Structure 1
């Protein structure tokens, strides 16, 4: 039991111990390094997610009501006191994420008049704002900052942004008056106001400028006779004085969450902290925050991807564990004579195990420590994986001694000449395993799981199913081979007969299980990745059911023809959408008392043409596509919830809905769970056929336009859409109405690209790639073990056959015939397991977080068949190469001369 002797034995069996060390290193490297890599990808994804949002989306804003202050202390002094108090009262996880904070006190916009404004006939309302630190965030262009020294009867001094002043025709020294107006807009007089200076921001992206209303922009009027609205900066002392005189003031405190302060591993705590703030904020303040929206979306993706990674990791680690068992078994089988001789010379029952334990201690812990150290070099925050590393090291160290204890004390046996029926104990174990796998699968589907947590049932089901499938394959595949062998016996030549006969008697239980695990993991990743990709295509088509969509307020009727004349455009159709409309039971508008619904008007034939030209794969329900003008209610497609509500009140055959001031009668002609252009979670909608609308006084105006074509110029579409809105606005029916906002143009390609980028998509791609590549490589390695497990007996047979005159070509043919069934059954069984697992696990994985809420569907992929055939060919070639290399190393002639167990 000396260490020196153990070292010599390790050197003598260096290849076997090197294999065990490499497998141990890989396992500990994965356990130590992969969590770091995942955490780093999560942090990068979170940074990308938050940076893609407007910076103001991360603001936590407390606002008081606009009302007269009770004292000067209330105006500015109270703002300073509460500035730090509000931050101190935040939950710790929120407070630690705050990197910038500002506060302002301001008055409501009041009418200003003066010669410079009158010169351009400008109607202006100006708010006065006091904001500390503005001087450090901007550069004074001309004039001076408002003086903090209050002098009675001196005009109010205000500083303006250079661009704001230019638009208002103001300059340093401009004399104004600020005051109230009556209900007719007449100026009632007020206090004198003077522009003391003009400034320009040092960095327009600085969060200090994000307060509302914007200090650096003019708010354009929304209708005829409405004023321009701007904001100017005044001294704090002046604002205190105006507040004391009874001017209504409002205080705003803003706290911005820093992108680098938000930890992806603590998102749940941060979101919970924001919820606590929402519930417990002071009653005299209004809390406005939108940070929880992107954080919740990212947290949902992280939970889903961590659950998926748990499944992939279970398959990979189970495969590695199987490979370690195979390596230990191979090493023990090669040293069986040594352990038998040790017992024959008087060694105890545990002598061989003690010897193996010393050898394992010299190799395994060193390899485990090296793998752990390499894992620490991966950039990223670590997870608490030390207990797992210790457990793996202990188990692998004990694997070889335990396997040594199982070595039979007797001599070698020609197992290839014995056909043993499985014992009752083994049959009972296999049947129990099959029942356990089925029960676990049923429980997982019925119980579900909590996303983001490593559920023992979730990680065990794929392994159990793979093992169960391997057991079934072991029991089933010898029977067709036996039939083929009998047929081959009637043919000339010995290659086919001997190859199929040996393949049908091969004992490959453990290696086959490992191959199925590995290939099943790779196939699972490939199938789910294809399902997610196809679901993203469907999600993009749901959001943009054409090549592009123009969304606006209302478009002139001729906009469709104008768009049709643009280069690349092949088809255009109109769409009208209105939300939160009430259903009525009659034409005069009697409320049906069944809640609100969204309304979508589509041109059935036009939509069908655009979908066909854009190749979206979407079909229009026949009731909408074939509807024609005529008497009676319009055929409508509704959501199941609306259909149930209408049926409950007896309006399924006749109900009314208001669309742009006109009420239309409809009947339920069918139901759809979802419809393009509507949100994935929208469960209350009514869809009407535009082409079948009856004639009314006013004609509906489209709010969106769907375009099919290639290539499309987004800027040209935007210009055409804006012009269509302007033509509609200039029409007599809308004269004097509010100014329409500019249109937005979305292309399906951009939406599809956005679904696949950002967020936790980097982790998802890593999981799929690592699982597919790792499963394939480990599967090939397991096939190599499978080949080596029977290499010695095959070498003996081939030696005898070569002595009897078997040619080299026949030898290769025999090898190919013998290995083909083994490789085929393992690869096909693994691929079948990988194809079935997504169908079982997909409902509980939550992958719709990556497809904009569209459910992920996994289905048979024709490309999987080609991939399996290619993998099978590669695996077979690899197996033949391993066998040939091993035979060359063993020198078949020496195998025959030295004996069966040499």
Structure 2
């Protein structure tokens, strides 16, 4: 047979099949690339926003003196180059070309400070490029001095301005360090960082900041800082005299990170640490300090959930698109049936007619598949195997179905078929198989709800059980729908048989006695509606939880916090900012519990005014009843059971526990904390403002430059704009729209497939007096039962899938850390989908009857007589 001639004769069916194949291949090849690009971007942002101390690789060696001491800066560079050669692939591809090294002492006390002041010595390989000297000069040399009859080294050092202000290390002062091996330092300069926000300082925060530490069981605070020393000081810095450690920082370049390489990164970190410890010489006893495995583990947990959702919705999209393409192939092969029947009658072989159907189908789908595959290159992202495999599956399924259907239909020449006979009773074997499928689906859903996953998805990859249960549930729902579909129709047929109008009886009778292919759309519409509703429910649940998480993270529409007191005039200026409707001041601090070293966080606030500010929001606050003695207080679970006790704040306060709260929105989620009335102190020191209204954050920041401004809207935007979150939401939206489109196309193709048989029946009925309006109603009644039943089943499936999957899908990573479990019943999308299907069915019925009216009844009846 000449395929081009066949394609020209059946041009309409070929064009429909081509467009469906193009759209399916474009989605199947393009969406995975977009998702993988988003996964890569999410990993890069995760590494970029994490502290460099956690993301980078840091080799740490604690020197014991002797051969382990490095006396020259050049030796640090040599060791850095050796370290880089040990990093295995693919981790070596993540390393930035420039790192840095350092030599620092630790736990170096100031003589006669009672163990409360510590000044360590620190050398940075690139310190001269990182700081500006604001007072004095940079240290240049190391000398000696006499102290208590001995000669000790004297290091010129520079300190940060905060150490001068808070620890009293003034310019020109000399301090003695140590309690046994003494050394002296002379402060010759005060410096500041050229860029304090540079990730570099994450590794050297001890140099840039003063640290306060309260040791367990002690009341006094310890003060720590690290002073900069020059290159020359390395000659006198030894592990023999003091606690000394060397560090080599290998920075991670997040721009080259890829989500597909995450398992390899984990293995490479372990291998690098093993190789480093096996090296002789300087590296003996060295350790690897990095938080990269933890960061990658957190990312893999969030990624696993995203991949699970993507597999579910993309799997549903692929199944539905293949089902619609199969329907279109059936339409094409039915249009060829007459010619193929004549070919078989004239001696054509079965491979010949099957090959003709397969060839014509391939001629229709191959260009669409190639075009869709080519257009997928316009999407960003790496080329995954699914990108190449998807179009092959689509083309192979279409061609194989065409060949198989024609081979089965025309296995014998001039084989008689009755299209007006109700389907035969299913065999016992088929019923047993269907019952087994339904039972396994229900058992799988029950096990998934009760025992969760069999594997750790973040470490071991996707659990096949989680991916098979939704498929089994969908297949079970489709089988139940197909088996139960005729029974309500038969009941309706019996009821309408007793009424006078003939149209309801005829329409429902034709629906009940429909050919087998008329029920086939159930296998397409049901998963399409089910996955669409599932995506809608998931999106709605995530969106609602995101809003709640934003409110809980801020605790008010806008919150301003400051480390220093906010004077009354500043608070008043905040009230005058346009858009501010209400301001609730608060005091926050860390207080002493009792007379011990135990500490707790505290907030003093008027809860009644705060509750008024939160009216109409999804969060609520407890009330504090009046205490019979002492100050009424709400405490965390860790402080529960203490009754009345004292705290040390601005003065000694006696508080009485009036209730226990697990968390306080905007402030505390765990640990030890206390909530007391605002006026507990004789003079309230306001350092926090809770604000309602629609004031601009920039305007508030100008009024309170020393404060930190947070807003509920900003917190929500940060959650929603996360790459993984936006990818999940965007993909769910695209898949929902695509599935709705495929469902509508399936209804249209179903109408077209049955058009000839329906036209013949209507022509016969029109000769008996059936009017055009009655013909339209009859066609609608023939189509609507299948749509209504399938829409209800798809709605039930989509609403039940989130509950069935249960703990298998943890969406907290996309909802600000809050669990997403209470899915509200949102019928907007399902109703819109069902209404769209009904509208298409009605429009198709009207269009069909309009076309039938233009046909000659005689021509239709003669064609019927011939068959």
Q: Same fold (TM over 0.5)?
A: yes
Cα distance per residue 1:626-685 (max 9 Å; x no partner)? 63212699896765xx6xxx9xxxxx876677754779787897786x6634776x4xx5
Pick aligned residue for 2:778 from 794, 798, 814 = 814
* Matching residue of 2:457: 451
Q: What's 2:861 paired with?
A: 896
Task: Indicate yes or no: 2:468 matched with 1:460.
Answer: yes
Task: Provide the secondary structure at the position in 1 that maps to 2:409.
Answer: coil
> How many angstroms apart in 1 are the aligned matches of 2:436 and 2:799?
24
2:693 is matched with 710
Question: Which digits, 9 at most, give the CA deviation of each residue in 1:259-286, with x for residues without a partner?
Answer: 2122222123324544666787667557
Answer yes or no: is 1:94 the counterpart of 2:91. yes
- Secondary structure of 1:774's aligned partner: helix
Alpha-carbon distance, 1:46 to partner: 3.1
Structure 2 residue 765 is matched with structure 1 residue 755: no
Distance 2:802 2:445 in 1: 12
**Aligned ranges for residues 316-355 of structure 1 at < 5 Å?**
316-348=317-349, 350-355=351-356
SS at match of 2:528: helix
Which residue number corresponds to residue 837 of structure 2?
875
Q: What does the per-residue CA deviation read over 1:341-370, in whole Å, with 9 as the maximum and x for residues that have no partner? A: 444444555553344344445555555444
**Change in CA separation of 1:490 and 1:608 when aligned onto 2, cut-off 3 Å:** farther
Question: Which aligned pairs between 1:518-529 and structure 2 lie closer than 5 A?
Answer: 518-529=528-539
Which of 802, 807, 827 in structure 2 is aligned with 1:865? 827
Point out the more displaced range, 375-384 or 485-494: 485-494
2:299 corresponding residue in structure 1 = 298
After superposition, where does 1:176-325 map in structure 2 within 5 Å?
Answer: 179-181=174-176, 212=204, 234=230, 236-237=231-232, 239-240=234-235, 251-274=246-269, 288-292=289-293, 294-325=295-326
Residue 886 to residue 744, structure 1, CA distance change in 2 (3 Å) = same
Name the counterpart of 1:609.
611
Secondary structure in 2 aligned to 1:353? helix
Distance 1:383 1:810 in 2: 54
The change in CA–CA distance for 1:290 and 1:484 in structure 2 (over 3 A counts) is: same
Gap change, CA 1:713 and 1:287, over 3 Å in 2: farther
- The structure 1 residue matched to 2:507, chosen from 494, 499, 503, is 499
In 2, Cα distance between equivalents of 1:484 and 1:101: 79
**Superimposed CA distance per residue, residues 319-340 of structure 1 (whole angstroms, 9 cap, x where no aligned partner):** 1222233233333333334444
How far apart, CA to CA, are the structure 1 residues paired with 2:866 and 2:302?
Answer: 56
Question: Per the alignment, in what secondary structure is the counterpart of residue 555 of structure 2?
Answer: coil
1:131 to 115, 125, 141: 125
Supply the distance in 2 between the matched residues of 1:629 and 1:20 (Cα, whole angstroms).
Answer: 77
Local SS of the residue matching 1:257: coil
CA contact (8 A) 2:55 2:295 kept: no
Which residue of structure 2 lines up, in the alignment, with residue 649 of structure 1? none
Q: Superposed, which structure 2 residues align to 1:341-380 within 5 Å? A: 341-348=342-349, 350-360=351-361, 362-365=363-366, 367-380=368-381
Match for residue 665 of structure 2 among 676, 685, 692 = 676
Q: Is the 8 A contact 1:512 1:786 kept in 2?
A: no
Asked if the contact 1:111/1:178 (under 8 Å) is kept, the reply is no
1:531 positional shift? 0.6
Shift of 1:20: 3.9
Which of the numbers 379, 395, 398 marks the counterpart of 1:396? 398
User: 1:343, 1:457 → 2: CA distance?
Assistant: 47
Q: CA deviation at 1:68?
A: 7.8
Aligned partners of 2:213 and 2:221 also within 8 Å: no
**Matches of 1:390 and 1:192 in 2, distance apart?**
73
**What's the CA shift for 1:772?**
0.8
Query: In structure 2, what is the equivalent of residue 629 of structure 1?
Result: 627
TM-score by length of 1: 0.75
Alpha-carbon distance between aligned partners in 1 of 2:186 and 2:198, rounded to the nearest angstrom: 32
1:572 to 581, 584, 594: 584
> In the alignment, is residue 441 of structure 1 matched against residue 435 of structure 2?
no
Looking at structure 2, the residues matched to 355 and 461 of structure 1 have their Cα atoms a distance apart, in angstroms, of 39
The CA deviation at 1:845 is 1.5
Structure 2 Cα separation of the partners of residues 302 and 139 of structure 1: 42
Does the 8 Å CA contact 2:333/2:357 hold for their aligned counterparts?
Answer: no
Please give the alpha-carbon distance, in whole angstroms, between the structure 2 residues aligned to 1:228 and 1:451: 43
Q: Which runs of 5+ in 1 are unaligned?
A: 113-122, 169-174, 647-651, 723-741
The whole-number CA distance in structure 2 between the counterparts of 1:758 and 1:744 is 22
- Tell me how far apart the structure 2 counterparts of residues 687 and 208 of structure 1 sit (CA, whole Å): 34
1:301 Cα deviation after fit: 2.3
Q: Does 1:767 align with 2:731?
A: yes
CA contact (8 A) 1:634 1:666 kept: yes
Instruction: Tell me the CA shift for residue 101 of structure 1.
Output: 0.8
In structure 2, distance between residues paired with 1:375 and 1:521: 23
Q: 1:702 to 1:520 in 2, by over 3 A?
A: farther
Please show how residues 695-844 of structure 1 align to structure 2 within 5 Å. 705=688, 707-712=690-695, 714=697, 744-844=708-808
Distance 1:78 1:362, change over 3 A: same
Structure 2: gaps of 5 or more residues = 111-116, 146-152, 215-219, 278-282
